[in-house]
């Protein structure tokens, strides 16, 4: 039986709206362990990393050499510790499931997952998260985790942020609909497999996700699955900090996660950007638990 270790990373350092640090608690309260048990998965809850409140910290205490990145020192500290937790979980033969917090925690997840392996990554997100301190319009690190892990721009040579085992040719982004010009240039220059909502409309979610998983898993030891709840349409997942209209539906999201499970390639996963202060009756957190269960094999029949 697969054992999933749940690791909470209650950060809001990378976001522009407070409250997302309560995401891990909301997801647990929504029944994550029960949903995973329904998928035939055993769970171990490692609790939450200790994360100081953003209000107690100076967002500009450790500025990057170029550009802007808020709470970079604090983000680095959390991601180092999360990377150790993820790496240790894999070494123990368990599958790490990180709960955000904002999407900046993906830096730690990727570093830990790639520590002793070659990995791919599938990014289920409205956004590409390929900004750097020099290209970001906001300075919010939740828009930078994939760039950081790949060592782009100002992140080049950063020991806490870079995941050398993450192969750029095994990166796939699914469901894009809000991408900055600088990110478009990176996607084109690097040749990442990138699928917009138009691709999903034309081809269907199953076909797109199957191709993305095939791209991500080719020739590597496993795939990191990053699920940002703003990937879904805000009507389905209202409790997110950066909602973008026109996302996937409830059923499309489940279908995609079922394809993820069928690939048998998942090495690590995270659920991020659930903000209960913006939610309605905790429905976004509940949806996160359901999608995690689908990703680990839960089916109707």
68-94 pLDDT, tens digit each: 999 999 999 999 999 999 999 999 999
Interval 90-118 mean pLDDT: 98
Band of residue 266 on the pLDDT scale cut at 50, 70, 90? very high
Indicate the helix (H) or strand (E) that contains 269.
strand 266-272
Interval 158-178 mean pLDDT: 97
By the 10 Å C-beta count (0-12 exposed, 13-18 middle, 19+ buried), 31 is classed as: middle
Single out the residue of 7, 25, 14, 11 nearest to residue 282, CA to CA.
Answer: 25
The answer, yes or no, to whether residue 140 has pLDDT greater than 90, is yes
| 3-state DSSP assignment of residue 253 | helix
The answer, yes or no, to whether residue 47 has pLDDT greater than 80, is yes
pLDDT over 90 for what percent of the chain? 93
pLDDT at 167 (0 to 100): 95
| 3-state DSSP assignment of residue 152 | coil
pLDDT over 70 for what percent of the chain? 100
The answer, yes or no, to whether residue 1 has pLDDT greater than 90, is no
Interval 196-202 mean pLDDT: 98
**What whole-number distance in Å separates Cα of residue 24 and Cα of residue 6?**
10
- pTM, whole model, 2 decimals? 0.97
Indicate the helix (H) or strand (E) that contains 148.
helix 145-149
Q: Is the dihedral of CA 186, 153, 86, 50 positive or negative?
A: negative
pLDDT at 273 (0 to 100): 98
User: Can you say whether residue 216 is alpha, beta or left, with left for phi > 0 and alpha for psi between -120 and 50 degrees?
Assistant: alpha
The partner residues of 252 in beta bridges, in order of sequence, read none
The answer, yes or no, to whether residue 300 has pLDDT greater than 90, is no
Single out the residue of 134, 140, 127 nearest to residue 246, CA to CA.
Answer: 127
Interval 271-276 mean pLDDT: 98
pLDDT at 268 (0 to 100): 98
| 3-state DSSP assignment of residue 174 | strand
Indicate the helix (H) or strand (E) that contains 34.
helix 32-38
pLDDT at 301 (0 to 100): 67
Q: Is the dihedral of CA 64, 74, 166, 132 positive or negative?
A: negative
The answer, yes or no, to whether residue 192 has pLDDT greater than 80, is yes
Q: Which residues are catalytic?
A: 103, 125, 127, 129, 142, 228, 230, 273
**What whole-number distance in Å separates Cα of residue 58 and Cα of residue 261?**
41
Half-sphere exposure of 225 (CA within 13 A, CB side): 29
- The set of residues, in sequence order, having a beta carbon less than 8 Å from that of 58 and lying 6+ positions away, is none
Interval 231-246 mean pLDDT: 97
Band of residue 249 on the pLDDT scale cut at 50, 70, 90? very high
Q: How many residues does the chain have?
A: 301
Structure tokens belonging to residue 221 = 């030891």
User: Can you say whether residue 96 is alpha, beta or left, with left for phi > 0 and alpha for psi between -120 and 50 degrees?
Assistant: beta
pLDDT at 17 (0 to 100): 82
Interval 25-42 mean pLDDT: 98
């Amino acid at each position: 039986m697969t054992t999933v270790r749940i690791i909470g990373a209650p950060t809001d350092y990378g976001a522009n709206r407070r409250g997302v640090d309560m995401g891990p608690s909301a997801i647990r309260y929504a029944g994550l362990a029960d949903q995973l048990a329904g998928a035939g998965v055993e769970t171990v809850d490692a609790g939450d990393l200790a994360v100081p409140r953003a209000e107690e910290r100076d967002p500009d205490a450790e500025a990057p050499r170029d550009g802007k990145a808020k709470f970079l020192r604090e983000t680095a500290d959390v991601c180092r510790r999360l990377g150790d937790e993820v790496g240790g979980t894999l070494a123990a033969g368990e599958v790490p499931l990180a709960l955000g917090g904002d999407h900046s925690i993906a830096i730690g997840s990727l570093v830990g997952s790639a520590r002793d392996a070659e990995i791919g990554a599938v990014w289920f997100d409205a956004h590409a998260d390929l900004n750097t301190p020099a290209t970001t319009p906001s300075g919010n690190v939740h828009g930078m985790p994939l760039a950081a892990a790949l060592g782009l721009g100002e992140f080049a040579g950063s020991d806490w942020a870079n995941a050398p085992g993450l192969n750029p040719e095994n990166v796939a982004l699914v469901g894009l609909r809000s991408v900055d010009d600088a990110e478009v240039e990176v996607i084109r220059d690097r040749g990442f497999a990138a699928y917009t909502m138009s691709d999903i409309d034309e081809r269907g979610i199953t076909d797109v996700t199957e191709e993305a998983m095939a791209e991500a898993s080719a020739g590597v030891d496993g795939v990191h699955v990053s699920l940002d709840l703003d990937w879904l349409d805000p009507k389905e997942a209202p409790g997110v900090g950066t909602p973008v209209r026109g996302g996937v539906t409830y059923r499309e999201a489940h279908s995609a996660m079922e394809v993820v499970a069928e690939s048998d390639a998942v090495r690590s996963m995270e659920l991020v950007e659930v903000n209960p202060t913006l939610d309605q009756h905790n429905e976004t957190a509940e949806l996160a638990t359901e999608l995690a269960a689908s990703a680990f094999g839960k089916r109707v029949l």
